Amino acid sequence: MNRREFSSSTASVLALSALGLPLAVPSAAHAQARQFKEGKDYVRLSKAAPVEAPAGKVEIVEFFWYSCPHCNTFEPTFDAWMKSAPKDLAIRRVPVAFNASFVPQQKIYYTLEGMGKLPELHAKVFRAVHVERLPLNKDELVFAWIAKQPGIDAAKFKEVYNSFTVANQVRRATQLQGDYQVEGVPSMGVAGRYYTDGTMAGNMDNVLRVVEYLAEQARKG
């Protein structure tokens, strides 16, 4: 679905459609074997988006939303792919916001990242939303859930959650979402130059193949 179809009343259940299953971790050989088409499998940005990757690295961005069921399904595949990806890829996740109701979940992500708790709780946030049916779309719901997580300082979490640093990260994430002209999630940006998603590529298996192909194009300059 495109961003116009997101609203505060339906934000907890809507996400990009036509993603296709099952999901599988693609190989670089598959990406190299197929020539993907600009305008069909991916788009080239008319204006380059900013990147944070150091010189010599190709930046890969996954745009996601904790409440998106397809993001939840894609997460294990993406996590496995990320761990086995070439070392010259600088891969990061960026939580999106199509309206104000998304912001608490953006703040969850950056707060956990800032506290060094993202590896142990990222998947648990997805589980809370999709299995435990907790929307986590309001500050008080977020704080109540965090207070029940073992090993988490709830007072520190709240402090970081409400900090200028997290507010700035949220602002930059939403700006990058606009720079890539993100219309749905999960979707991917490559090297500040290219964008693809499940609708264009046909399914999320192909999205990762397209990403590998585009990373190779970026390496070539």
142, 153 contact by CB (below 8 A): no
In a domain, 35, yes or no: no
Question: Taking the model in full, what pTM does it have?
Answer: 0.86
With respect to residue 200, please indicate whether it lies within any of the assigned structural domains.
Answer: yes
Q: Is 140 part of any domain? A: yes
Of residues 185, 216, 218, 184, the one with CA closest to residue 26 = 216
Residue 31 in domain: no
Q: Does the residue 47 lie in any domain? A: no
Q: What average pLDDT is seen over the chain?
A: 89
In this structure, is residue 113 part of a structural domain? yes
92 against 32, higher pLDDT: 92
pLDDT in tens, 57-106: 999 999 999 999 999 999 999 999 999 999 999 999 999 999 999 999 99
Residue 62 lies in a domain: yes
Task: Note down the domain range covering 113.
Answer: 58-219
Question: Which ranges in the chain belong to alpha helices (H)?
Answer: 28-33, 69-84, 103-114, 118-130, 139-146, 154-161, 164-179, 198-201, 204-219
| CATH number, domain containing residue 156 | 3.40.30.10
On whether the CB atoms of residues 98 and 3 are closer than 8 A, the answer is yes
Domain presence at residue 83? yes
Give the count of domains, the chain.
Answer: 1
